[in-house]
């Protein structure tokens, strides 16, 4: 599962950010024997990091959830607005954070799981076309396995993801109505005598 796709496609702007992924997928795939829920993300840069760290710590208490981290790398981007540069002034560049490795981590992990025969069905939560080659390779090498794509989308434009949907055996839009039924408790024991607190505003 692509954590940033999930956040921006399903939970941003809602009161359901404190999401219990294990509970959610138990509701979503009620007839499956779920072996693992793999959550791919990267630690963000900025004031939201403390909230994200609390969420990752809460997810880590769930026995089926595995967190796989990429990273952010800063890169220089040229300003695209005409006001940023003119014949009399040089072009302006800005440092921006760019998420790295998440798509590669998802693809490599899926292929490894297929070759290790760890599952019969892959449930991919993303709308990112960068995953298309991995999905096609699994279907080619392991035709007995199924790949099901759920695209997180609050708006139809974001949910198109035509390439990834077409590459999979089956595709759906991630059901948002289940989010409110799969929320973590406000306080979660951290296993060391303390508690993980739900962030304010979540």
| Tens-digit pLDDT profile for residues 99-143 | 668 999 999 999 999 999 999 999 999 999 999 999 999 999 999
Q: Is residue 200 a contact partner of residue 41, using CB atoms and an 8 Å limit?
A: no
Percent of the chain surpassing pLDDT 90? 77
Closest by CA to 28, choosing from 178, 189, 180, is 178
User: What structural domains does the chain harbor?
Assistant: 3-71+100-186 (3.40.50.1010)
- Confidence band for 159, pLDDT divided at 50, 70 and 90: low
What does pTM read for this prediction?
A: 0.85
What integer is the mean pLDDT of 39-61? 94
Q: Is residue 199 a contact partner of residue 49, using CB atoms and an 8 Å limit?
A: no
143-176: b (≥16 Cβ within 10 Å) or e: eebbbbbbbbbbeeebbebeebbebbeebebbee
pLDDT for the residue numbered 186: 97
pLDDT for the residue numbered 45: 83
pLDDT for the residue numbered 14: 96
pLDDT at 86 over 90: no
pLDDT for the residue numbered 87: 59
């Amino acid at each position: 599962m692509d954590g940033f796709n999930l956040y921006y496609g399903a939970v941003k702007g809602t009161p359901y950010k404190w999401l219990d992924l294990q509970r959610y997928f138990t509701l979503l795939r009620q007839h499956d024997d779920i072996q693992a829920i793999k959550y791919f993300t990267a630690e963000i840069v900025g004031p939201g990091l403390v909230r994200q760290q609390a969420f990752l710590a809460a997810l880590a208490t769930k026995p089926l959830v595995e967190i796989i981290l990429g990273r952010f790398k800063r890169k220089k981007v040229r300003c695209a607005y005409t006001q940023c540069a003119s014949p009399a002034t040089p072009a302006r560049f800005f440092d921006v954070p760019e998420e790295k490795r998440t798509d590669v981590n998802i693809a490599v992990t899926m292929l490894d799981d297929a070759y290790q025969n760890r599952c019969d069905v892959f449930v991919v939560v993303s709308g990112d076309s960068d995953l298309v080659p991995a999905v096609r390779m699994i279907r080619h090498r392991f035709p007995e396995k199924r790949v099901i794509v759920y695209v997180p989308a609050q708006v139809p434009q974001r949910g198109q993801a035509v390439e990834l949907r077409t590459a999979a055996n089956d595709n759906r839009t991630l059901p948002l109505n289940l989010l409110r039924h799969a929320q973590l408790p406000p306080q979660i024991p951290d296993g060391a005598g303390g508690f993980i607190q739900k962030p304010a505003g979540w």
